[in-house]
Structure 1
């Protein structure tokens, strides 16, 4: 999924007045979390995109920039954005519903990733 598609799907589900820059910041934060909490703990496969230079997104990124989580798990972005918009608008019940969907999708993706990637070796300390 691209930045543009995530933004469009979010706005289709929940028309809102949250500016695009804020939503891109939320996508950047989400991919930063996914990178640090999931990708950085596993060795990369040959088929994986190189994310070593990932440093987030901002309003200067092309809207065609691909986000880090691939299909069929990429609805995580839409549900995260919709939840954040509802939180921003003070719609707590709707926020809780979409946040639960997002958490479930994130857990599913993390389990898939753990099954298909070898964990990195932990750092070993040498005592002198």
Structure 2
């Protein structure tokens, strides 16, 4: 899914006065978190997070369909938050957290975690 598609979906489902630049900044928050908290913890993952910029609406988002609700719900939650609509924000954050957990679980089930090398972390002289 492309950045443009998420922006268009948000414009239809949650009309708002926020600029695309603001929404792209919010997308960077969730995309950066996906890289740091999910992708980079997988064995063999070599990619890096490169923030989106205005004018790059044709770039692909990292999270694949059918898990792209992560982006939709996050943008909706930020709109609700900045509009001061705490009830709607709380409802949307619950949906976002659920979407996040679903994708994280799917990714972890299908990708081996990085191995941690504990060599040198245990002090000498402990009797082993």
User: Counterpart in 2 of 1:92?
Assistant: 86
1:66 matches 2:60: yes
Q: Which is greater in Rg?
A: 2
CA distance in 2, matches of 1:6, 1:42: 26
CA distance in 1, matches of 2:46, 2:30: 14
Query: Tell me, what secondary structure is at the counterpart of 2:73?
Result: helix
Q: Give the unaligned 5+ runs of structure 2.
A: none
CA distance in 2, matches of 1:43, 1:3: 27
Residues 2 and 64, structure 1, Cα contact 8 Å, conserved in 2: yes
User: Counterpart in 2 of 1:29?
Assistant: 29
Larger RCO: Structure 1 or Structure 2 (Cα < 8 Å, ≥ 6 residues apart)?
1
Q: Give the unaligned 5+ runs of structure 1.
A: 45-49
CA distance in 1, matches of 2:83, 2:71: 18
User: Counterpart in 2 of 1:108?
Assistant: 102
Aligned pair count reads: 122
CA distance in 2, matches of 1:82, 1:96: 11
